[in-house]
């Protein structure tokens, strides 16, 4: 069963003037287990290099802090303003990537938030579908 989705946001940025790189970053906040959360990502890029990258498993998101998601090229994500009430969660997520020839750039800077558990409609629909099998 897929992890219940709490929120999804996309940022698209273009960097450089002669050597241009466009990166679209979609980040999804999911509930990985009761009261545990993670971030799934999908990056689509074109310019100096073209391609895409996505997470196989969610990256844990449990507190404020800065974490290295990938060592080379270096990808860091920073969580700030982390708040969990027991039924809803909110966090500011900033992702920076070391882009060859352009340096370190911020590719995502959004607040992800929403209800989870029984307050999450997506979670309830998945549960009903699972018990109906």
Q: Give per-10-residue mean pLDDT for the chain (133 aa).
A: 89 91 96 93 90 90 92 92 95 93 93 83 62 67
Residue with tokens 């209800």: 115
The whole-number pLDDT of residue 118 equals 65
User: Virtual CA dihedral for 50, 94, 42, 44, nearest 10 degrees?
Assistant: -20
The whole-number pLDDT of residue 69 equals 86
The whole-number pLDDT of residue 126 equals 61
Q: Cβ distance 26 to 9 under 8 Å?
A: yes
pTM confidence score: 0.84
């Amino acid at each position: 069963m897929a992890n219940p989705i709490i929120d999804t946001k996309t940022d698209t940025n273009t960097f450089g003037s002669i050597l241009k790189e466009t990166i679209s970053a979609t980040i999804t906040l999911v509930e990985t287990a009761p009261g545990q959360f993670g971030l799934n990502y999908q990056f689509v890029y074109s310019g100096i290099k073209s391609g895409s990258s996505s997470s196989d498993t969610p990256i844990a998101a449990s507190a404020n802090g800065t974490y290295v998601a990938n060592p080379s090229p270096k990808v860091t994500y920073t969580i700030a303003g982390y708040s969990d009430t027991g039924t809803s969660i909110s966090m500011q997520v900033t992702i920076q990537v070391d882009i060859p020839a352009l340096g370190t750039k911020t590719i995502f800077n959004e607040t992800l938030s929403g209800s989870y558990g029984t307050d999450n409609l997506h979670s309830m629909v998945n549960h009903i579908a699972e018990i109906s099998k």
